[in-house]
Structure formats: structure tokens, C-alpha cells
Amino acid sequence: MIITLSLNPAVDKTIEIRDFKVDGVNRVTSARLDAGGKGINVSRMISRLGGQSKAIGVLAGASGSFIKQQLASLGIENDFLFVEGETRTNIKIVDPVNGLNTDINENGPDIGVQDLEEIFNRTIGTSESGSILVLAGSVPGNVSKTIYKQLIAAAANKGIKTILDADGELFRLGIEAGPYMIKPNIHELSIHFKQEIASKEEAIALAKGLFVYGIKVIVISLGSDGAILMTEDTTIMAEGLSVEVISTVGAGDAMVAAFAYSLERGDALEEALRLAVAASAASVMTPGTSPGELAVIEDLKKKVTLKYIK
């Protein structure tokens, strides 16, 4: 079973504004609402790939009900805890004329101590050994940045593999518990090492030092330049695919979803990497946070070129 955790989900409102102007009047040409949050995006892509997952997390208010209803309509199993307040709304402004994507993200509701204990039980206590737990995205402001570290340690004790996709303190502390897989993008890696990373070779050299924590697989997403997959013994680079970009929101989540799906199936790392790059590329071809179409993903997967790095 693949479990995705969303402690700070959102309703994603994507609006298209052609030639967006700061400090001026802008006209919306299209708008859409999607259930959002990195964990939820991962569950949606897993479903698109033909897999199954359980989405767990915290919801609140009418926006939370909207998210739960949308997941149910997609046939995605979910077990969300409702709390006081209102699930946040994140606004994504897409400007196709200038090729710009602007995010305006709200803060989510606080989570109480008892609520967190219940979330631990739903993610760890009820999960079987061999499950895969995806920890992705931000957490509410009142939640300790050690939360992912705690979950990773608890999961390891129960034989659950974890995939960590976070940034800042959540990433820094989380890797100390030795998750099975991490997926920083090049920008997040730069922040972690507190230096500008100028090349893929530099990224690889720096990332190798993270294996000391017991991490088994490191995936560095490079946006339009593809991705790098690393184990202690192997480094594989996947070249990026040239596609029409409509919205970059959720591209990294699609990559995580493909890896979780492939890991559960027992696919070879090379196959997982091809699928991940294809799923990510297909997602940027769709509006909002909607996952790429399966037929497009399968077609793009055939075009992914891999290169082994010594």
C-alpha cells in the first residue's frame, strides 16, 4: 500500500492571465479549482498511472469538504481528519504570454497535539510492513519541523519505506532519520548546502554526502533538464524532454508519484526513472495541478534518454 500524507493541503485555484501586470488591472481568461497539496497531487498521479494509494491528512471547513469530495469522485481512498478552521486556498497565476507561474499561498489551520497523535496512528499505526509512505510538502506553522523526522523513524521501526519531498528545516531534519528515498530539486539542494550549485556534476558530488544518513535512493529533479538518480553504487542522468509547458505546478509531485508506484511494483530503477521523467513532463502539459494523461506519459517514456555517470 502507498500512503500519502498531507498535513497542509489546499484548494488550488489556478487562474490564467495573459500578460500579467503587477500594480495594474488584469483580466482572467480562465480559472479552475483542484484538490491540492503535494501528497494529494501524488495520490492523483498514482491513480492516473493505474495504481492505488490512501491519502491521509488534515482538512477543515468547506474547502476541506471540497477536497474530500473530489478525491472520492476520482476513486482515491482517503482517511482525512477534520479539524477546526478552514483548509487554505492557494492561488496559481499562469501567464502564458510571458511564460510565468506565480504562487500565492495561504497558511493552513493549526493542528493540535491530539490531532497529531491521531495522524500518527492513521499513517503508522494502521499501516503494514512493506508499505510506502510519501511525506511531501509543508506543515502548519504550529507543527514542529521535526514531524517528518519522527514519522520516518517510526515508519522504519515498522518496516515502512518512506519517500521525503520537502525543503528547508523539514528536509534537513527529515534526512537525519534516514528515509528510503529523497527527492530534492536543484534549488532545494542549493538551500540545504547553503551554496549555489552551478552544474549537475557539483550537485552529484554534494548529494553523495547525504548517503551517510542511511538514505538508499536520491533523486534530484532538474526541471526541464530532467533528473539525476543516485544510489551509493550507481548514478544515472535522465535528459529532459521538450514539451509544451502550460503549468509547472505539480511536476515534482508527478515524479514522486511515479517513483512510489514503481517502487511498489518492484520495477528496476532505470524503469522508474524513465516513468518519473515522463510523468513530470506530461504534467506540465496540463492546466492547473491535473496529472498528465496516461497515453502521453507512455509515449514520452519511450523518448527518455538515460546516461550512466561514473
pTM score, two decimals? 0.93
Q: Is 253 annotated in the active site?
A: yes
pLDDT in tens, the chain (310 residues): 999 999 999 999 999 999 999 999 999 999 999 998 999 999 999 999 999 999 999 999 999 999 999 999 999 999 999 999 999 999 989 898 998 888 899 998 999 999 999 999 999 988 899 999 999 999 999 999 999 999 999 999 999 999 999 999 999 999 999 999 999 999 999 999 999 998 999 999 999 999 999 999 999 999 889 999 999 999 999 999 989 888 777 899 999 999 999 999 999 999 999 999 999 999 989 887 778 899 999 999 999 999 998 6
d(CA 109, CA 140): 7
Helix spans in 165-209 (H): 168-174, 186-193, 200-207
Residue of 244, 234, 245, 226 whose CA lies nearest to 303: 226
Q: Helices H, strands E: what count in the chain?
A: 10, 14
End-to-end CA gap in the chain:
34
State the DSSP code for 201. H
Residue-range domains of the chain with CATH: 2-309 (3.40.1190.20)
CB count, 10 Å around CB of 130?
11
State the amino acid at position 288 in one-letter form: G
- Name the catalytic one among 167, 253, 267, 299: 253
Three-state DSSP class for residue 239: strand
